[in-house]
Homo-oligomer: A and B are copies of this chain.
Amino acid sequence: MIGMQEALAEARAAAARAEVPVGAVLLGPDGAILAADGNRVEERHDASAHAEMLVLRRAGVLLGTPRLIGCELVVTLEPCAMCAAAIAGFRIRRVVFGAYDPKGGGIEHGARVFEAPGSLHRPEVVGGVRESECAALLRDFFQQRR
């Protein structure tokens, strides 16, 4: 799946910064990578600095619009409710994610944002891509910190 390799590299780089290892890339309508980043919550003192939010915001600035029509988001972990709602706000065409997140996810779990009445936009969703690699990164990170 285009982009997941790069998202995994961003997740590993986040772990090296002592951030929860989640990485994301934003693909333009032509499939080219517009932005790639990992979690930066602790570094920026910003609870909203999830990998997804960072690449969405960067792509908006690059394309000069808050509506990223035809773009695709690839991320190593199921997005939380904040990121899912931002994905709808930015009008992302498709979301591809790696590991499922029964505790913190907001697409297939929890608030299930795209299924809620009033969701601005419902992107196509593909979950479980390279799931075991994505999940292993998170598992190893939390085991080392215990």
Contact = CB atoms under 8 A, between A and B. Distances in A.
A56 interface: yes
A125 interface: no
A81 B44 contact: no
Interface in A46-84: 46-49, 53, 56-57, 60-61, 63-67, 80-84
A94 to B, nearest CB: 16
Contacts of A46: 57, 60-61, 66
Contact of A47 (B42, B47, B90, B117): B90
A110 B116 contact: yes
Nearest to A120: B104
Nearest to A43: B66
24 contacts: A42-B66, A44-B61, A44-B66, A46-B57, A46-B66, A47-B60, A47-B86, A48-B89, A48-B90, A49-B66, A80-B85, A82-B83, A82-B85, A82-B86, A82-B89, A85-B106, A102-B118, A103-B118, A104-B120, A109-B118, A110-B117, A110-B118, A111-B113, A111-B119
